[in-house]
Structures are given as structure tokens and as C-alpha cells.
Amino acid sequence: MQNLNVNLTIEIPEEYVLIKKIELEQLKSEANSGVWWSMKDIEKRINKKRNWIQDNILYPTRFKKILDVKQGGFVYYPESQGERWVFQASKMTEFLEKYFTDIFTKQ
């Protein structure tokens, strides 16, 4: 690592706090801990409509086996009319980050 010694004072306004990047990432991930999303929440998060989400994420076998609560996942698939989709926010966030490329490339 290189060092540069400089006598410099930078004032940080009271409404700001300096924290390590890793701490910021941890705070972001904890923000979704214990939170459940609806289909509307997912639509807003990824800027796609229900049909696209179902066709490209929820129903393809390669993803459903990861997502479905009946297979140890974190998405509740409605079983009858009137039931709603339920997504465990923290794990769905991780899934969307991890499988972004796979979602947009047909396999």
C-alpha cells in the first residue's frame, strides 16, 4: 500500500457519518431481514411486470427448485385463487443479485 502524508482537515456535516464499506453493505442487507415482499414489491424492485417475473424467474424449473418453499426455498407459490405470492425479502434480494445474468440468458 502506498502512503501520502498530507495535513488536511475535512469537515463532515453532522448529518453524515463515515463508515466502512463492509459495514454499509451489512446494514443494507439487514434492512430486508424479517421483511416479506408481495408480487407488487418485486415488480417495483426489478421494474418488470408480473407475467415477465413468472415466465422468467418464478416458473422456470432451474429457478423454481431454488425458490419454492416446498423445496426449501423462500418464495410461497399460491396454491389456490385468491392466495398471494410471498417472498422472503433478504433471500430474494440475494437470489436476484446472484442469478441476474442467468435470469436474462435462457438456458
Q: What is the mean pLDDT of the chain?
A: 91
Q: Kindly report the pTM of this predicted structure.
A: 0.73
Is residue 11 included in any domain, yes or no? Answer: no
Angle (nearest 5°) at CA 67 between 62 and 70: 110
Note down the domain range covering 31. 21-104
pLDDT in tens, 78-106: 999 999 999 999 999 999 999 999 999 87
The total of structural domains in the chain comes to 1
Question: Does some domain include residue 40?
Answer: yes
- Residue 45 is assigned to a structural domain of this protein: yes
The helix-helix angle for 89-98 and 39-46 (nearest 10°) equals: 40
Q: Is residue 2 assigned to a domain? A: no
Span 9-46, pLDDT tens digits? 888 888 988 889 889 888 877 777 889 999 999 999 99
